[in-house]
Amino acid sequence: MVGGSWRFIKGNFFLTVVIPRLSTRWPQSFQQRCGFRKAAKKPESKKVEEELGPAHSESSEATAQRRTPAPHWDHQAPPSPPRAFGRLVRPLVFTVGFTGCSFGSAAIWQYESLKSRVQGYFDELRADWLDKVRPQKRGDIRKEINQWWNSLSEGQRTVTGIIAANAIVFCCWRVPSLQRFMIRYFTANPASRTLCSPMILSTFSHFSFFHMAANMYVLWSFSTSAVSMLGREQFMAVYLSAGVISTFVSYVCKMATGRFGPSLGASGAIMTVLAAVCTKIPEAKLAIIFLPMFTFTAGNALKAIVAMDTAGLVLGWRFFDHAAHLGGAMFGIWYVLFGHELIWKNREPFVKLWHDFRTRRGPGGGGGGQLFIIHL
């Protein structure tokens, strides 16, 4: 969905940017070059046809695609009637429910994390003392890994799991026997029979290695500033919710325009991260990575990205899913300006309910206990 390369440099608050090469919706004229070949119609391909609308997929480098059998994107008639907005009721309910569950789970995660951190304080002191007494091994691989892990920022440690999940899904695309399953559940298409689960699963799905690498580099680069701004729990809630919300916006635009086709990629969620950071820190300096002498502010960069995607949506450009990009960017801007106050800072009643539930179920039942809430 979205791609690009941005880098946060400590000290000078300087961000380095590579112009995004976004690639999720390619017109059919590009399918041969991108490795998504149109298959001849066969009787056994009917099940695949039920899942897909007209094929528009992410680009990939031709040499890499020749080594892996590409999925077949066969034609299918759009839902009947052609613009049946009633099909979007379930995705809308799923979007609202998933977003609520994401923020609720993040609030519980933060509560449990803080509680365990306080309760395990003396255990950590004991572990530190044992490390000093215990003789150190030279060349211990586990120790090297721990040192590398501890050298990462909290944001980089937070997104490591997201990057690993994207890498696993990318490898699954390389397995020919899994491609029908991947097309059904890891590409988002309002013309498909499976509408809801792909809204989140497609956020972790990339067929092109370049597409995945670009998106993950952007996520890694912005993770430090985003997590320091939101906290890891709130960041994860925003990221996951952004993937579903941007996909729903894409569904609405595809229904409105009648341009159906499968989409995949983390770009919508990453656009939310970019927009949130650029909105919160509009005076941060940005530069194109290959042209570092040209700098501009994060606020102007965000305006340019939104303007480009708006033009692409209005003019019908089909290289990228501009609707998903705009949906992600608008959600990121809204969340920084209003969402943090409306959602995250009002989580205390929910956390109190969880605290009371945990207290009643705890040892001895009905005990007191300390309620831990961090107001960021």
Residue 267 annotated as catalytic: yes
Average pLDDT over residues 330-347: 93
Residue 261 belongs to a domain: yes
Q: Which of 56, 72, 325, 340 is catalytic?
A: 325
- Binning pLDDT at 50, 70 and 90, where does residue 143 land? confident
Residue 369 belongs to a domain: no
Give residue 314's domain range.
Answer: 85-117+153-358
Q: What's 184's domain CATH number?
A: 1.20.1540.10
d(CA 331, CA 337): 10
Residue 322 annotated as catalytic: no
Residue 143 belongs to a domain: no
pLDDT computed for residue 279 by the predictor: 93
Residue 318 belongs to a domain: yes
Residue 63 belongs to a domain: no
Residue 308 belongs to a domain: yes
State the pTM of this model: 0.75
Q: Which of 68-82, 219-233, 307-321, 356-370 has the least mean pLDDT?
A: 68-82
Token pair, residue 229, equals 């701004």
- Binning pLDDT at 50, 70 and 90, where does residue 18 land? very low
Q: Which of 56, 267, 340, 355 is catalytic?
A: 267
Q: Provide the domain count of the chain.
A: 1
Whether 145 has a pLDDT exceeding 90, the answer reads: no
Cβ(198)–Cβ(250) under 8 Å?
no
Residue 190 belongs to a domain: yes
Residue of higher predicted confidence among 78 and 278: 278
- Binning pLDDT at 50, 70 and 90, where does residue 34 land? very low
Q: Which of 75-79, 172-176, 268-272 has the least mean pLDDT?
A: 75-79
